[in-house]
Amino acid sequence: MVVYVGMEQADTASLIPKMAEKIAHARIFEDAQGKMNLSASDKGHEILLIPNFTLAGILDSRRPSFSEAKDRGEAQSMFESLYEAISKHLTCKKGVFGASMEISAIADGPVNLIVRVESRK
């Protein structure tokens, strides 16, 4: 499972356990009846965690604004914490923070989700 991660200004380190839990246990894979009822953890899948600050971008005009993105140092620390937290649930590999990466993936199904974890209830 490929997971792109963008940290926003409002995100705090206290959200990391909840993020890891959601990623590892989201029921997004089909069971024997074709229902989305199994998680990456259930299936024994690995996670590839990719840092991507552009996910925090806003396109209000012709040029995107990244003012909502968390600053690099804090975002990197949170990304590393998320990697460690997910690794407690299943095998997790990660991209290089701040690097220009070429990522190839083969989609096996029509599911792409945007998952937001917020501190407010």
Domain ranges (residues) in the chain = 2-94
38-55: per-residue pLDDT in tens? Answer: 999 999 999 999 999 889
How many whole angstroms separate alpha carbon 20 and alpha carbon 43?
16
Question: Per-residue pLDDT averaged across 9-33, rounded?
Answer: 94
Q: In which band, very low, low, confident or very high, does the pLDDT at 79 lie, cut at 50, 70 and 90?
A: very high
Integer CA distances (angstroms), 2 to 23, 54, 62, 75, 105, in order: 10, 16, 28, 19, 8
Q: Can you give the length of the chain in residues?
A: 121
97-111: per-residue pLDDT in tens? Answer: 988 899 888 877 777
The closest of 89, 70, 73 to 5, measured between CA atoms, is 70
Residue 67 sits at φ, ψ, to 5 deg, of -65, -20
Q: Does domain 2-94 have CATH number 3.50.80.10?
A: yes
**pTM given for the model:** 0.88
